[in-house]
Amino acid sequence: MASIIDIKDECALQVRDFEFTYKGADAPSLKKVTMPIAKNSITALIGPSGCGKTTLLRAFNRMHDLYPGNAYKGEIEFEGRNILDPKEDLIHLRTKIGMIFQKPTAFPMSIFDNVAYGMRLQGIKNKTELNDRVEKALKDAAIWKEVSDRLKNDANGLSGGQQQRLCIARAIAVEPEVLLFDEPTSALDPISTQGIEKLVIELKEKVSIIIVTHNMQQAARVSDYTGFMYLGELIELGHTEELFVTPKEKLTQEYITGKFG
Partner 1 sequence: MIDKIFSNLTRFSALLILVIVAWIFVELYNQSLEAIHAFGFDFITKDEWAPNLEKFGAYSAIFGSVASTFLAMLFAIPVAIGVAIFLSEIAHDKIKGFFGVSVELLAAIPSVIYGMWGLFYFVPIIRDLFGGMGIGLLSAGIVLSIMILPFMAAVTRDAMNTTPDILKESAYALGGTQWDVIKDVIIPYARAGIIGSIILALGRAIGETMAVTFVMGNVHKLPKSITDPATSIPVTLANEFAEADGSLYFSSLFELALILLVMSFVVISIAKFYFLRKERRGV
Partner 2 sequence: MTAVQKRVLVNKIILALSTLSAVVAIAFLFWILGVLVMKGVGALNWNIFIYEGAPPGYAESGLKHALVGQAILVGLATVIGVPLGILAGTYLSEYGKNSKLAHLIRDISDIMMSAPSIVIGAFVYAVVVMPMGHFSAWAGSIALAIIMIPIILRTTDDMLQLVPGTLREAAFALGAPKYKVIMDVVYRGAKAGILTGVLLGIARVGGETAPLLFTSFNDNFFTTNLNDAMPSLTVTMFNYAISPYADWQQLGWAAAFILSMFILGLNIVGRLILYFGKGK
Nearer to partner 1, 31 or 64 (CB): 64
Q: How many residues does the chain have?
A: 261
Is 104 a binding residue for partner 1 by CB under 8 A? The answer is yes
Is 102 a binding residue for partner 1 by CB under 8 A? The answer is yes
Q: Could you tell me if 14 and 37 are in contact, meaning their C-beta atoms sit under 8 angstroms apart?
A: yes
Angle, helices 160-173/111-121, rounded to nearest 10 degrees: 20
Nearer to partner 1, 32 or 117 (CB): 117
Is 92 a binding residue for partner 2 by CB under 8 A? The answer is yes
SS3 26: coil
Q: Which position among 68, 80, 86, 123 is part of the footprint of partner 2 (CB under 8 A)?
A: 123
Is 108 a binding residue for partner 1 by CB under 8 A? The answer is yes
Measured distance CA(215)–CA(183) in Å, rounded: 9
Q: Least CB distance from residue 60 to partner 1, whole Å?
A: 11
Q: Which position among 17, 25, 71, 122 is part of the footprint of partner 2 (CB under 8 A)?
A: 122
205, amino acid identity: E
Q: Could you tell me if 167 and 100 are in contact, meaning their C-beta atoms sit under 8 angstroms apart?
A: yes
Q: Per CB under 8 A, which region of 35-43, 106-114, 143-151, 219-227 contacts partner 1?
A: 106-114
**Residue 123 contact partner, candidates partner 1, partner 2, none, CB within 5 to 8 A by sort of partner:** partner 2
Give residues 186-245 in contact with partner 1 (rule: CB under 8 A): none
SS3 25: coil
**Residue 162 contact partner, candidates partner 1, partner 2, none, CB within 5 to 8 A by sort of partner:** none
Is 109 a binding residue for partner 1 by CB under 8 A? The answer is yes
Number of Cβ atoms within 10 Å of the Cβ of 160: 15
Nearer to partner 1, 68 or 258 (CB): 68
Measured distance CA(252)–CA(236) in Å, rounded: 7
258, amino acid identity: G
177, amino acid identity: E
Nearer to partner 1, 85 or 89 (CB): 89
Is 92 a binding residue for partner 1 by CB under 8 A? The answer is yes
Of the candidates 209, 172, 213, 170, which has an alpha carbon nearest to the alpha carbon of residue 193? 213
Q: Could you tell me if 90 and 62 are in contact, meaning their C-beta atoms sit under 8 angstroms apart?
A: yes
Of the candidates 175, 239, 189, which has an alpha carbon nearest to the alpha carbon of residue 9? 239
Q: Least CB distance from residue 152 to partner 1, whole Å?
A: 15
Name the site residues for partner 2 (rule: CB under 8 A). Answer: 91-92, 121-124
Interface ranges with partner 1 (CB under 8 A) = 61, 63, 66, 68-69, 90-92, 94-95, 98-99, 101-109, 117-118, 121-122, 156, 167, 170-171, 174
